[in-house]
Structure 1
């Protein structure tokens, strides 16, 4: 029951939602953690106990609740792999030796060298979840210290041996603090105790030798990666200036040698005036033109046409003002025979060249 409850608690922690996705560590980091320890039942023998079918097999040492803690320092290689050195401590109550109720504990302390791998779910499987699982293994050395009393006797002492561990866990970024992560882990720690050795003794008696020791640990921790700077913000989208609005042009045509507006001409001027109020207009340009004929032929003809083109522009300007366009928004020009709309030979009456252009800028 205790093992199932601890596994459930660790699973719930791993499933809890977090706001940001954990990141792969690059560079140095440190970590601490602690949690629940469940030590499996051990076998204990003294010098008179014989292993095997002919022996009594020794006594069963049953453990109660315990706790564990660790601190580590490591290095992330940026590709998911990490290596770390760790100091660990575990304490566990001892409830009984066979049927004899006891008081006491055993504890272990020492160090490991661990190699771990962070699983980037987004990169490897395109799974975008706020968690980075990791797995690892470690090897090291632990000293086991036992202190057991009950049934009129006492066992105490310390023995050291090779130890190993397997690690399964997950890491979550802590929002707002770059490099700081929360971790949840399950660890299975094994410690080799050889029956041929040991320095744990019954008081006044022979050595009490313990067999292989297994610890199941459920841990919550934090770690800090020093070089885990937040990713740079995405580049701001390029601001593309809006394309300039094309100028709108209206054409007003005139009779030969005339500057008066016709009915159709007034309609076109009214359209231009109305358009200037519906689009963003900064300037209205009114340009007058003539064809290359003149009521005053000879040298005076070109000068006369220049004046005629200005009178035509003035007529259009006056009509625009009557249609509600401010006078200071209108610029007028007279170009005479220059810039014909339709190229012609000399002295040609061309109706399309007798015009005023209204240009909305």
Structure 2
């Protein structure tokens, strides 16, 4: 029940700060604590103790069971930014003895079993993009190898009216497998993550000093061989140095519509046959164009002279130029700067109404004022 409460509390703490999970890159530190179940272990008596048991017709083997205990780990590691991590871990486990059976009748067992050691671990983080309602996490797996010391602290039991006591420490090669998941807590600090994991740790068989005396035993010393298999569930924190929070996910913004192109305004000034002077109607049109150039955003005013196809092209070119100059002068008189104007003459090359050569066409005798 305590473990369940701890897990719920830790999860509740992580939920408000859940963010996008990131691969670990660089140095990190981690720590965790939780519940440890020490698997029932076979015991085998050797030396004088084994000889006394055998001499009385008793079994030289038994089994020890343990109460639920606790575990703590701390580690220093490095993430390569591609899901791979490597670390050095220090660990400690403790479980009280629940009972010892075998050896031809055992009662009143007591004592404590401890394990502590150093492991080298390798992990792989799976960046699967798992996110449920804003709650994201990254699963990982790991394996480790190292060296673990097992200590039996005053582990004793009553056997044949006497006492058998194991009180020693023995170190052996150790191995472990890890399955877990991390939840980012970047709202509190970039690089901070909550972790929850299951660990299995085993060692080679330990050999521990054992003594006996009283009852059917004479005072004797020997050894007890013992297995060491641990199952643990831990929660903890991991902090990666130098991590920056992931950029926030921003919804794409539609680009602002391009402004509509400005519509050119065109004014037509017509002329009498073979003339370049302005009529009253022509002056009114030019006045309207000059006034409009001050109301709209105008960057350029084009003044283009034209002629009909009556007469030779060279004469018509000069005539269209005189007409364009006359209109430009009137625009200037109306307040339009010459620097704003582009004055051109096209002669008979751009008729408004196509005609045969030599035809007099009033609509072709014109100047076009274009406001751009």
Q: Is the 8 A contact 1:313 1:332 kept in 2?
A: no
Aligned counterpart, 2:37: 39
* Structure 1 Cα separation of the partners of residues 170 and 344 of structure 2: 112
* Structure 1 Cα separation of the partners of residues 231 and 317 of structure 2: 111
* Structure 1 Cα separation of the partners of residues 59 and 193 of structure 2: 52
Superimposed CA distance per residue, residues 282-320 of structure 1 (whole angstroms, 9 cap, x where no aligned partner):
2323334443558xx9x99876664344334445666xx
User: Structure 2: any 5+ residue segments left out of the alignment?
Assistant: 101-106, 158-162, 213-218
Q: Is the 8 A contact 1:37 1:217 kept in 2?
A: yes
The alignment's C-alpha RMSD in Å is 5.1
Matched, 1:277 2:277: no
Matched, 1:160 2:171: yes
Matched, 1:61 2:78: no
Cα gap change, 1:16 to 1:108, in 2 (>3 Å)? farther
What is the aligned length?
Answer: 335
* Structure 2 Cα separation of the partners of residues 213 and 308 of structure 1: 108
* Structure 2 Cα separation of the partners of residues 332 and 60 of structure 1: 104
Cα gap change, 1:17 to 1:154, in 2 (>3 Å)? same
Q: What TM-score results when the alignment is normalised by the length of structure 1?
A: 0.67
Q: What TM-score results when the alignment is normalised by the length of structure 2?
A: 0.65
Matched, 1:310 2:301: no
* Structure 2 Cα separation of the partners of residues 233 and 183 of structure 1: 20
Aligned counterpart, 2:103: none
* Structure 1 Cα separation of the partners of residues 181 and 293 of structure 2: 66
1:1-361 mapped onto 2 (5 Å cutoff): 1-5=1-5, 8=8, 17-23=17-23, 25=24, 29-40=27-38, 42-43=40-41, 45=43, 47=45, 57-64=62-69, 66-74=70-78, 76=80, 78=82, 80=83, 82=84, 84-92=86-94, 94=96, 96-97=98-99, 105-122=112-129, 130-148=136-154, 155-173=166-184, 175=186, 180-192=191-203, 194=205, 198-201=207-210, 206-224=222-240, 245=261, 248-256=264-272, 257=275, 259-262=278-281, 266=284, 270=288, 273-274=291-292, 277-278=295-296, 280-291=297-308, 293=310, 306-315=321-330, 321=334, 326-328=335-337, 331=341, 333=343, 335=345, 337=347, 339-342=349-352, 347-361=358-372
Q: Is the 8 A contact 2:303 2:367 kept in 1?
A: yes
User: Structure 1: any 5+ residue segments left out of the alignment?
Assistant: none
Cα gap change, 1:9 to 1:153, in 2 (>3 Å)? farther
Superimposed CA distance per residue, residues 249-291 of structure 1 (whole angstroms, 9 cap, x where no aligned partner):
514141413522539x95797478548634x322323334443
* Structure 1 Cα separation of the partners of residues 91 and 361 of structure 2: 106
